[in-house]
Amino acid sequence: MRVLITGGGTGGHIYPAIAIAERLKKDFRPLELVYVGSKNGMEKDIVPKKGITYVGMDVAPLNKKLSRKTFKAIGTLFKGLWQANRLIKRFKPDVIIGTGGYVAGSLVMVGALRGVPSAIHEQNAYPGLTNRILSRFVDYIMVSFEDSKVHFKHPEKVIYTGMPILDTYFSTSREQSRTKLGIADEEMLIVTVGGSNGAMKLNQVMLSSYHQFSEIKNIKFIHQSGTRYYPYVMEDIKNGIYEVGDNVKILGYIKEMHVYLNAADLVISRAGASTINEIIASKAPSVIIPSPNVANNHQLLNAQLMDKYGMGVVIKEEDLNEELMVHTIQDFNKDPSKLNIMRQNCEKMDLSKTLDAISAVIRKLTD
Return the amino acid letter for 259. V
What's the pLDDT band for 260 if we cut at 50, 70, 90?
very high
Mean per-residue pLDDT for 38-54? 93
Q: Which residue would you say has higher pLDDT here, 6 or 217?
A: 6
Q: Which residue would you say has higher pLDDT here, 268 or 69?
A: 268
- Is the same domain home to 31 and 137? yes
For a pLDDT cut of 70, what percent of the chain falls above it? 96
The strand ranges marked E within 239-356 are 248-251, 266-269, 286-288, 312-314
Mean per-residue pLDDT for 109-131? 92
Question: What integer pLDDT is reported at residue 68 of this predicted model?
Answer: 67
Q: Which residues are annotated as a binding site?
A: 10-12, 124, 196, 254, 299
State which residues form the domain around 85: 2-165+352-366
- Is the same domain home to 239 and 275? yes
Going 178 to 162 to 20 to 97, the CA torsion angle's sign is negative
CATH of the domain at 153: 3.40.50.2000
Distance from the Cα of residue 189 to its chain's centroid? 22
Mean per-residue pLDDT for 245-251? 95
The answer to whether residue 69 scores a pLDDT higher than 80 is no
For a pLDDT cut of 90, what percent of the chain falls above it? 75
Question: What integer pLDDT is reported at residue 55 of this predicted model?
Answer: 96
Q: In what order do the strands lie in the sheet with 188-193?
A: 248-251, 219-224, 188-193, 266-269, 286-288, 312-314
Mean pLDDT value across the chain: 92
- Is the same domain home to 266 and 277? yes
**Whole-angstrom Cα distance, residue 118 to residue 113?**
10
Work out the angle between the directed axes of helices 230-238 and 200-209 (0-180°, nearest 10). 30
- Is the same domain home to 184 and 153? no
- Is the same domain home to 77 and 175? no
- Is the same domain home to 98 and 232? no
H/E element, 340: helix 337-347
CA angle 19, 308, 360 (to 5 degrees): 30
What's the pLDDT band for 66 if we cut at 50, 70, 90?
low
Among candidates 296, 94, 90, 270, which has minimal Cα distance to 197?
A: 270
Those residues whose C-beta lies under 8 Å from the C-beta of residue 82, and which sit 6 or more positions away, are none
Return the amino acid letter for 25. K
Taking CA atoms, 37 is separated from 43, 47, 98, 101, in Å, by 6, 9, 10, 9
Question: What integer pLDDT is reported at residue 298 of this predicted model?
Answer: 79
The domain total for the chain is 2
Q: 134-191 pLDDT, tens per residue?
A: 999 999 999 998 888 888 989 899 999 999 988 899 999 999 999 999 999 999 999 9
Q: Which residues are annotated as a binding site for UDP-N-acetyl-alpha-D-glucosamine?
A: 10-12, 124, 196, 254, 299
- Is the same domain home to 22 and 122? yes
- Is the CB of residue 260 less than 8 Å from the CB of residue 177? yes
Taking CA atoms, 362 is separated from 229, 236, 311, in Å, by 39, 49, 31
Q: 344-365 pLDDT, tens per residue?
A: 999 998 888 999 999 999 999 9
- Is the same domain home to 207 and 150? no
Question: What integer pLDDT is reported at residue 122 of this predicted model?
Answer: 93
**Whole-angstrom Cα distance, residue 18 to residue 24?**
10
User: Do strands 219-224 and 248-251 pair parallel, antiparallel, or not at all (unpaired)?
Assistant: parallel
**Whole-angstrom Cα distance, residue 339 to residue 328?**
12
Question: What integer pLDDT is reported at residue 54 of this predicted model?
Answer: 97
- Is the same domain home to 127 and 182? no
Taking CA atoms, 238 is separated from 153, 206, 213, 243, 249, in Å, by 53, 16, 19, 9, 14
- Is the same domain home to 299 and 175? yes
Among candidates 131, 91, 134, 143, which has minimal Cα distance to 110?
A: 134
The answer to whether residue 65 scores a pLDDT higher than 80 is no
Question: What integer pLDDT is reported at residue 21 of this predicted model?
Answer: 97
Taking CA atoms, 202 is separated from 110, 154, 197, 198, in Å, by 39, 38, 12, 8
Surface-to-core class of residue 239, CB atoms within 10 Å of its CB (0-12 exposed, 13-18 middle, 19+ buried): exposed
Question: What integer pLDDT is reported at residue 274 of this predicted model?
Answer: 87
The answer to whether residue 287 scores a pLDDT higher than 90 is yes
pTM of the model as a whole: 0.82
- Is the same domain home to 122 and 182? no
Question: Residue 155: what are its φ and ψ, rounded to 5°?
Answer: -60, -25
- Is the same domain home to 116 and 254? no
Going 85 to 86 to 87 to 88, the CA torsion angle's sign is positive
Q: Which residue would you say has higher pLDDT here, 81 or 95?
A: 95
Mean per-residue pLDDT for 11-31? 93
Mean per-residue pLDDT for 220-246? 95
SS3 249: strand
